[in-house]
Structure 1
Amino acid sequence: MLTLKGNPAGKRKARSKVYGLRTFLDPGCPANFYEAFRDNIRHFLRECADVEERTTAGMPTWCTLLVDERCGAVVPLYTVEESAYHSATPFCDYCRCSGNLSLSLSYCHLGWSHHLVSKRRYHLIIPSDNDWDKPLRSDAFFLHNHLFHALLHCNGFGHLIFLNGREGGSKFISGSRIMDLFDRLCTALRIRAVSLEDVSRKGSIDLRLLLSLSHGAPWFARWGYRFLRGSYGVTQEAYDRAIRFLASLDLDDLIKNVADGAQNRELRRIVFAYRNMCLPDRHTPPLVTVRDLLRFLLDLKRRPPQQTPPALKTLPPPLPLPPTPSPLLLPASSSRRSTKKTGRKGCRDFARVAAELQSRWPVRRLHTSAQVVVDALKKHGRRMTRQEVREAARLTIGDTGLLDFVLKSLGDCIVGGHIVRRVSNPATRVLEFSLEEMPSTVVATEPEPEPEPGPEQEQEVVEVARPTWHSARQVERDLAALCRGLLAAQPEAGGIVMHAKHWVKEWELQDDVDDRLRFLVMWMPNPEELQELTRLLAPPEVVVMEATASVGELMEEAETALRDTYCALEGFTAEEMKGVEGEPWEAVLLGGAESGSKIWVRGEGADMNCDLMYEGGPDTWSVGCACGARDDDGERMVACDACDVWHHTRCAGIPDGQPVPPIFYCARCRRSAVAAGDMME
């Protein structure tokens, strides 16, 4: 742990604790947290944060300073405690939209809207770079420019709301670094589950589409998040099926399915260009499917610009001739004698030809264009007319003037280890291009005889024109174009992947080296309370006890945990316990309960008429959309004025952006009305 004089975050204190951003909340750094989350978060604020003198809209605020060990930037992590009793929004919209949860937590079946309202929730916020030296604004909960914003209920369930990182404008901290920090925090403080809505983008690319197709899972899967549910009734099975179909889609079939002419040409250019780039590399598999191309592009984008591509590492560097003559590199006179014996016209290295040509294009572009022509000839494997070569090369080279200039200068030249021949077909009198493998005795020759070089002179070598190595920006543009083309060609499967937005990660209850007992305590309503329940029971609370604890102490701790966590159970008094046997003074372990067991607690004092009962709010509403959705998924909905069942506006035929009609009837009610009218007639 470090200490700095003069707090960088507003200089609110003379001294402040500062922790390493990359190691903070690793095991034992700065402490271990063995209790339930509701107690661990308090311990965390006491040990690892400083109380801010200024509150956030009247709510107590703490600040933890984290220094990036590499760049030295000091990042403020704010924690704001919000009380449900004093909050303007005591219910949780994120819990209501975290529906269809079907995890190993067997008590969670229909999302979190049935959770009892927690007394406290904690907002974790890292502001944007420009606000690091300012206190949090009173409206900080509603700003969208934070680098990070998470909401954690005191019962251990939470939501990741915002994550921006460098894409959000940060100059110092990436989204991956923030996710690493958040994951360590959740693990250390014993969070039980975190949900999120994945709308992550990289520029104009939706990452959930790009990474699902290239690696089989979205970006958040790196930290253990898995599919919770999709919008518009998308299920895990449908999502997996769509991923398999799109990832294995043949690139040639993809191009055929794109109807738009401009988009079709763009896809053809992308596929042709990157397939040609793979040709020199025997270790790179051919680009056949969508996943092949996406992975190749992502690998290309990550490689530093100055790094030599693996596809080109096997090509010989342009080095001078060694002292001992090589059969592959001979003096010009030997080359001329060789060409006389073979009876073929001599050839020149196009690298030298390009350097001597007086053109408005740089030599490097001439090299690249010549290599594209050679790749087109190699792909077709036969003679091609000038027009055929020109059309094939235009898929990669947009400058027709450059292409015509290269074709005019390319006859009898060596490019990439091949000899390009340009001859007139005697039958058709049409100019044709062909390729010849360069034999070991054929090298670049000069048009004019030159004297034999002396022993001290360096002799020329053939320098191979190398394929274009695209910049990261160009690769990113091509990735975006490929994703757009994929959605246009396969809108149904692509839409399923795009609608798979809701993901979750859970942390199982685990025993630690402290030898203490951990139980899941479930509130069990009495018969009268059970009749007043309108939703499923809330999840159990975690209770941590010493190994020598008695049955009576466990009941007291269970009562304290429930009263401390939920508004409706603030006056609860435990009277009966199931799951453990024995008298109050007897040891828990003797009563048949083991660590990790579920304990049921019944008593009196639960407020069944509490205004703050369920996180989903007091309204009871039903979703029954034609797409299969049976719970709120965060998409725009409209309620039927006859049956009061909610439907997606898109599924009801109301386009996005169009206002909802003042009176709406679902398809079933319209059919019923028509049938009733027919009967009346």
Structure 2
Amino acid sequence: MALVGADPTGRRKASARIYGLRTFLDPGCPTDFYGAFRDNVRRFVRECADIEERATAGMPTWRTLLVDEQSGLVVPLYTVEECVRRSPIPFCDYCRCSGWSHHLVSKRRYHLIIPADGDWDKPLRPDAFFVRSHLLHGLLHCNGFGHLILVNGRDGGSNFISGRDFMGLFDRLCTALRVRAVSVEDVSGKALMDLRLLLGVAHGASWFARWGYHFFKGSYGVTQEAYDRALRVLSSLRIEELIVVLANTGQSRELRRVAVAYRNLHLPDRDTKPLVTVRDFVRFLLELKHRPAAQTMPLPPSPSPAPLPRRAMKKAVRKGYRDFTKVAAEMQSRWPLRRLHSSAQVIVDALKRHGRKMTRQEVREAARLTIGDTGLLDFVLKSLGDCIVGDHLVRRTSNPTSRVLEFSLEEFPSPAPAAAAAAAAAKTEQNEDVVVVARPAWPGALQVERDLLTVYRSMLAAQPEAAGKVLDAKHWVKQWGLQDDVDDRLRFLVMWVPNQEELEELTRALPPPEVVVVEATASVGELRAEAERAMRDTYCVMEGFRVEEMEGVEGKDWEPVLLGGAESGALVWVRGDGTDMDSVLRYEGGADTWSVGCACGAQDDDGERMVACDACDMWHHTRCAGIGDGEPVPPLFFCARCGRSVMAAGQM
């Protein structure tokens, strides 16, 4: 849904369209896109954005305003169109490191940027493409391939919006505009820990796997099989085995302390298995890290619940209020009592932060930032109305206008200090005079983080090879199909087939086919013309390309495509002339034709530091060659094979 209102940045007098941050580009919101990406992105900036009066380093810039439904803040999403021919950096390092060096250079690149919180009311800087403090930065080539360069949530500088929300927005945008594939280099970390190792051990995949990204390419020759095997080794390792391997070290003693502490805290029930393996511990610690801080003292008036005299409790019962402690104990739940308690406290904290009535959906979204189990959250919300949690009363009422359920918070009347002291003294004489609401004691987030770091370092020390394989699995990709089942249009993958002379000049594999979309009634000639237009519009070397021959579709130019034996989604080949084989803007990986032949098995550039052999001119990882990250590359370097040859020649 689009709202029309004043531009909150005050830079434009005309009204601006504002969309919901979490619903923008859902199906039909505000529209649907059915063409190829190169056409969809032009329509996107035309219909869903406003042109900025000030360009970014001379490049046209559009802005889309998105409102955060929880806080009411308005967030700018900028789209910058970069003309590759005028760019000081025409080649793409992200393509080179992602295994897409053979792609032809696209004529346009689109940068999607949400700047840092403090820059929302400012125009983009001229060097915006190189700023690392953006909350979101994606790069999309006009052929539909792209790269997620960075996403920064609350741990990366955002004060209001989570990284999940930014990822959800970027994923919806790519899906709606029919992007073909997006790569990401997973180097995310937290508190001296690499998340790809932590989450890989806990869940078997990267954080980005939640949005459909899969392992694509590892550094240092790591394959999918090696990555999966390393995860199995680490996740199935028993904590006791880890302690034995690290025996007689400080890490062993610290790991033993962590194991004992959390096994005592973790009381298994019918739905929770004991903490045995490294995966069990990492999962539990990650879950525990998002719980409320520890409450170990006997319930002071605030923020912990105070002892409630029985008279006050009886008065509350007469009014229909219930103590959530008793409600939770009586509920038939598959969750343990401690989880119900902590979830209720999270909801209370969310209501306190907002300081106003909140709809059930608003409460749910706010609490989801801490509680990942939506089933647990829905169960507690259903039972929390008119309940006492600590020294607060949670009210649930129906809005008389919208008839939507709303939650609010009221201070529950605590006894005066003298009355509280008297009640505490009376407890020694008659235990029934005071009802004490108990709360489980959880370690604070910082303590859990320190203990998680202990387990993390123990994995690295005990299984350095397996942990290294997981850490080297950095490159992930999400791929979208043609999505050919939503309308009557015909979609084809058109493959350029070079002639013999062009084939001799090519130094890399053929690029992927191009997406071409035509109407269901299109003729063979119209398909040929659209294929030619697509090639000319997309690639620098094909601006003068003319289709002379097309295979995969039979028939005369005026005959319908469907009568030519081709179905939507089929592969079609085109030949022609006019390709500029002399252009330096041929491959995204650049004009260099250097080769990789490292001892680790890598056959292509993976973005890691390399050095060329001065004898065979093959590139090798400095790490594999025994050169440390902080060491300079020697002025003369021979790989192992050439070094042996040189030594053998010297002995003759």
Same fold per superposition (TM over 0.5) = yes
- The one-letter amino acid of 1:69's match is E
TM-score, normalised to structure 2, is: 0.78
**What does residue 209 of structure 1 align with?**
197
Conserved in 2, the CA contact under 8 Å of 1:10 and 1:134? Answer: no
RMSD: 2.4
Matching residue of 1:290: 278
Q: CA offsets per residue over residues 16-53 of structure 1, 9 Å max, x none?
A: 11100010000010011000000000000000000000
Once the two structures are superposed, what CA deviation does each residue of 1:163-218 show, in whole Å capped at 9, x if it has no partner? 11111211111110000000000000000000010011233321111111111111
Partner residue, 1:200: 188
1:276: which partner in 2?
A: 264
Read off the aligned partner of 2:283 and give its amino acid letter: R
Output the CA distance in 2 between the equivalents of 1:163 and 1:461.
Answer: 51
1:116 — aligned with what? Answer: 104
Correspondence for 2:60: 60
Query: C-alpha displacement at 1:514, in angstroms?
Result: 2.3
- Could you report, residue by residue, the CA deviation over 1:612-637 in whole angstroms, capped at 9, with x for unpaired residues? 11100000011111111111111100
Q: Are residues 1:629 and 2:617 paired?
A: no
**Which of 515, 528, 531 matches 1:555?**
528
Give the unaligned 5+ runs of structure 1.
100-111, 309-316, 322-452
Partners of 1:502 and 1:580 in 2: CA distance: 37
2:233 aligned residue: 245
Separation in 2, partners of 1:306, 1:626: 51
Rounded Cα–Cα distance in structure 2 between residues aligned with 1:132 and 1:607: 42
- Closer/same/farther in 2, CA of residues 126 and 320 from structure 1, 3 Å limit: closer
> SS at 2:280's partner residue?
helix
Contact 1:250 1:288 in 2 (8 A): yes
Tell me which amino acid in the other structure corresponds to 1:672: S
Secondary structure of the 2:198 match is: helix
Work out whether residues 231 and 501 of structure 1, in 8 Å CA contact, stay in contact via their aligned partners in 2.
yes
Q: How does 1:39-438 map to 2 (within 5 A)?
A: 39-99=39-99, 112-258=100-246, 261-279=249-267, 281=269, 283-305=271-293
The answer for unaligned runs of 5 or more in structure 2 is 297-305, 311-425
Question: Residue 520 of structure 2 aligns to which amino acid in structure 1?
Answer: A
Q: Residues 91 and 587 of structure 2 are in contact (CA less than 8 Å); yes or no, is this contact kept in structure 1?
A: yes
Aligned length: 528
Deviation >6 Å, runs of 4+: 317-321, 460-467
Work out whether residues 278 and 284 of structure 1, in 8 Å CA contact, stay in contact via their aligned partners in 2.
no
Greater alpha carbon shift after TM alignment, 527-536 vs 187-196: 527-536
Find the aligned partners of 2:149 and 2:143 in 1 and give their Cα distance. 18
Number of the residue aligned with 1:534: 507
Amino acid at match of 2:523: S
1:650 pairs with 612, 618, 623, which one?
623
Q: 2: distance between equivalents of 1:280 and 1:38? A: 54
AA in 2 matched with 1:61: T
Three-state SS of the structure 1 residue aligned to 2:647 is helix
Say yes or no: does 1:482 pair with 2:470: no
1:510 aligns with 2:498: no
User: Does 2:613 correspond to 1:640?
Assistant: yes
Could you tell me which residue of structure 2 aligns to residue 664 of structure 1?
Answer: 637
| 2:547 matched residue in structure 1 | 574
Q: How much has 1:304 moved relative to structure 2?
A: 3.6
Structure 2 counterpart SS, 1:85: helix
Alignment of 1:513-524 (within 5 A): 513-524=486-497
Assess, with a 3 A threshold, how the Cα gap between structure 1 residues 245 and 10 changes in structure 2: closer, same or farther.
farther
Distance 1:95 1:478 in 2: 38
**AA in 1 matched with 2:187:** V
1:457: how far off? 4.8
Identity value in percent? 72
Kindly provide the amino acid, as one letter, of the partner of residue 45 in structure 2: L
Contact 1:639 1:647 in 2 (8 A): yes
Contact 2:309–2:435 (Cα < 8 Å) also in 1: no
Q: CA deviation at 1:307?
A: 9.9
Distance 2:286 2:601 in 1: 35
Distance 1:260 1:483, change over 3 A: farther
Cα distance in 2 between the residues matched to 1:147 and 1:581: 50
Shift of residue 670, structure 1, vs aligned partner: 0.4
> Deviations along 1:383-427, whole A, 9 cap, x unmatched?
xxxxxxxxxxxxxxxxxxxxxxxxxxxxxxxxxxxxxxxxxxxxx
Does the 8 A contact of 1:258 with 1:264 survive in 2? yes
Preserved contact between residue 237 and residue 277 of structure 2 (Cα < 8 Å): yes
Answer yes or no: is the 8 Å Cα contact 2:292–2:442 preserved in 1: no
CA contact (8 A) 1:9 1:76 kept: no
**Amino acid in structure 2 at the alignment position of 1:286:** P
* TM-score, structure 1 as length reference: 0.74
Read off the aligned partner of 2:472 and give its amino acid letter. H
1:253, CA displacement in angstroms? 1.1
- Change in Cα spacing, 1:617 to 1:259, as seen in structure 2 (3 Å) is farther
| Secondary structure in 2 matching 1:518 | strand
Task: Tell which deviates more after alignment, 521-530 or 241-250.
Answer: 521-530
Distance 1:609 1:20 in 2: 48
Q: CA deviation at 1:281?
A: 5.0
CA distance in 2: counterparts of 1:244 and 1:307, whole angstroms: 37
Q: In the alignment, which residue of structure 1 is the partner of 2:564?
A: 591
Checking the alignment, whether the CA contact within 8 Å between 2:292 and 2:444 is kept in structure 1 is no
Q: Which moved more, 1:505-514 or 1:139-148?
A: 505-514
Q: Following superposition of structure 1 onto structure 2, how do residues 8-23 of structure 1 map, counting pairs within 5 Å?
A: 8-23=8-23
